[in-house]
Amino acid sequence: MTQTFIPGKDAALEDSIARFQQKLLDLGFHIEEASWLNPVPNVWSVHIRDKECALCFTNGKGATKKAALASALGEYFERLSTNYFFADFWLGETIANGPFVHYPNEKWFPLTENDDVPEGLLDARLRAFYDPENELTGSQLIDLQSGNEARGICGLPFTRQSDNQTVYIPMNIIGNLYVSNGMSAGNTRNEARVQGLSEVFERYVKNRIIAESISLPEIPAEVMARYPAVMESIATLEAEGFPIFAYDGSLGGKYPVICVVLFNPANGTCFASFGAHPDFGVALERTVTELLQGRGLKDLDVFTPPTFDDEEVAEHTNLETHFIDSSGLISWDLFKQDADYPFTDWSFSGTTEEEFATLMAIFAAEDKEVYIADYEHLGVYACRIIVPGMSDIYPAEDLWLANNNMGSHLRETLLSLPGSAWNKEDYLNLIEQLDEEGFDDFTRVRELLGLATGADNGWYTLRVGELKAMLALAGGDLEQALIWTEWTMEFNSSVFSPTRANYYRCLQTLLLLSQEDARQPLQYLNAFIKMYGAEAVEAASAALSGEAAFYGLPAVDHDLQAFPAHQSLLKAYDKLQRAKAAYWSK
């Protein structure tokens, strides 16, 4: 068999692919390659997914087909090992009360009487970082996955790199502030750690460059000429009408970061891609392949024009957009002729062991503590790296303002609404409660509750604002119902099925008619049936009377059998739980 070695990897691509694929089969995961893209020479990307659980998927990129597949499989192990596929979901009562929820080496800290953050969680430095005013409560740190207040706060063990001490960090903080940043899997411990640390630098430096509107130095032509494969990719993009800038993002040789920007003159927009690795060539290749990961040339028209509004560019919401899909705003200052830093022909490369030491030294020089959790229970080394103050994707204040457990206490109540028969005022009181607790009207209810509903029912598109329309109908407040129905039509109809959109047009008409005392509803019935269909008229009439206000929401039982998508997710998690139990029992 051919052996293909690429810089930064401790095994041949063929060996990595064969090993990863076999391990997945051994664990009971059946993965398919769903789509491939090769829009320009030396840029490949692939989308792989679990045949039995479409919510488990990853994307891979590389200069060759094999490199892209190895990348996707590595990311798959990274997300399985760190439980990231399940980060947004409630795992149900059985797992919440099982021997362990996340890992057998997790530690539970019962809530205290005064709801302080319990002793033994975090270290002094982390407490000062997350909670400088000492305002954080224990109940804010209950993890979404278990939602188990009786059990307390789940802390996961991380090794503090400065002294190798174990520090327990709440799963809630990890999930809310770090999401997928700093996660990695690889052929060896050092290879994966180098990748994870590089990713932390990439996103930290990217945020600084964007937020501070830093002007970067272009990479000189003679340096670019060392990388003919990258040059060919760029030349093809430029021939297709997309000018490319390749920048040194190291900020004076300090960080192993590259930035490549694509312009789309056809609609005046631009897209900045960032990549990091101790090896300059690897970082450059990653940045160019990232530019087109999951995108064909026809998909390069969805970005935004550069701007002179530095305040808007620096806003945290803009940086979050860049993290999610890189479609955020970029300052024109990035492209200024005179750069803020000189070009540095940097290299931090060596063996993966040397590279790990080199990158750790940069964090030490910045006085940043690094915490690493190692995972080997799936037979592939993976890790999650946290560097408070550098790897945070969301600010610590989100623990108060946008905690992913904020809606957990409402799960049972909201799921019981279809088929409920409360007093009318109880439905209206629930609207008040949603307002008092500060839930954003645009929030999807399934995300608030941590549910995988599948796309074939009303729960999938239900937002808090639409829920308020339903509650107002159930409570008999038709004036309020009209306000929220019109809100729903304005802000949610683009994601509705034609049937649901038609229902809301009919409902709005009936609500408007209900305000017309002089008009007789029966006079219009025939016209309504011809316009909206008998089914919609019947459903909207039942909603108007309060008899069946929760249109298109199937009743949900305690173990969520109504949601096959959630069941497939739990089955996938069960495979992981068995592998963890077997590994930790050795």
Give the count of beta carbons closer than 10 Å to the beta carbon of residue 57: 18
Of 52, 87, 122, the residue that ends a domain is 87
Give the count of beta carbons closer than 10 Å to the beta carbon of residue 94: 10
Show contacts of 298-305: CB within 8 Å, 24+ apart.
300/242, 300/262, 300/264, 300/271, 301/264, 301/266, 301/267, 301/269, 302/269, 302/327, 303/264, 303/269, 303/270, 303/271, 303/327, 304/269, 304/270, 304/328, 304/329, 304/330, 305/268, 305/269, 305/270
Answer yes or no: do 343 and 413 share one domain: no
**Full domain range(s) for residue 475:** 408-566
Examine residue 399 and state whether it is found in any structural domain, yes or no: no
Answer yes or no: do 284 and 416 share one domain: no
At residue 22, the 3 state secondary structure works out as helix
Examine residue 364 and state whether it is found in any structural domain, yes or no: no
Answer yes or no: do 463 and 548 share one domain: yes
Examine residue 247 and state whether it is found in any structural domain, yes or no: yes
Examine residue 483 and state whether it is found in any structural domain, yes or no: yes
Answer yes or no: do 478 and 342 share one domain: no
Answer yes or no: do 77 and 220 share one domain: no
Q: Please state, in angstroms and rounded to a whole number, the distance separating the CA atoms of residues 369 and 129.
A: 11
Examine residue 487 and state whether it is found in any structural domain, yes or no: yes
Examine residue 319 and state whether it is found in any structural domain, yes or no: yes
pLDDT in the model for residue 558:
79
Q: Please state, in angstroms and rounded to a whole number, the distance separating the CA atoms of residues 14 and 158.
A: 32
Over its length of 586 residues, how does the chain's per-residue pLDDT go in tens digits?
Answer: 689 878 888 889 999 999 999 999 999 999 999 999 999 999 999 999 999 999 999 999 999 999 999 999 999 999 999 999 999 999 999 999 999 999 999 999 999 999 999 999 999 999 999 999 999 999 999 999 999 999 999 999 999 999 999 999 999 999 999 999 999 999 999 999 999 999 999 999 999 999 999 999 999 999 999 999 999 999 999 999 999 999 999 999 999 999 999 999 999 999 999 999 999 999 999 999 999 999 999 999 989 999 999 999 999 999 999 999 899 999 999 999 999 999 999 999 999 999 999 999 999 999 999 999 999 999 999 999 999 999 999 999 999 999 999 999 999 999 999 989 999 999 999 999 999 999 999 999 999 999 999 999 999 999 999 999 999 999 999 999 999 999 999 999 899 999 999 999 999 999 999 999 999 999 999 999 999 999 999 999 999 999 999 999 999 987 899 999 999 999 999 999 999 999 999 8
pLDDT in the model for residue 1:
66
Of 355, 384, 417, the residue that ends a domain is 355
Answer yes or no: do 339 and 465 share one domain: no
Examine residue 82 and state whether it is found in any structural domain, yes or no: yes
Answer yes or no: do 412 and 335 share one domain: no
CATH assignment at residue 72: 3.30.160.20
Answer yes or no: do 343 and 485 share one domain: no
Answer for the pair 215, 272: CB distance below 8 angstroms, yes or no: no
Answer yes or no: do 328 and 465 share one domain: no
Answer yes or no: do 437 and 338 share one domain: no
CATH assignment at residue 346: 3.30.160.660
Nearest to 161 by CA among 368, 8, 376: 368
CA distances from 93 to 53, 140, 558 (A): 20, 19, 9
Q: Please state, in angstroms and rounded to a whole number, the distance separating the CA atoms of residues 540 and 546.
A: 10
Of 52, 67, 87, the residue that ends a domain is 87
CA distances from 88 to 292, 451, 510 (A): 27, 8, 38
Answer yes or no: do 334 and 427 share one domain: no
Tokens of 323: 């993290």
Total domain count for the chain? 3
Examine residue 200 and state whether it is found in any structural domain, yes or no: no
Answer yes or no: do 549 and 415 share one domain: yes
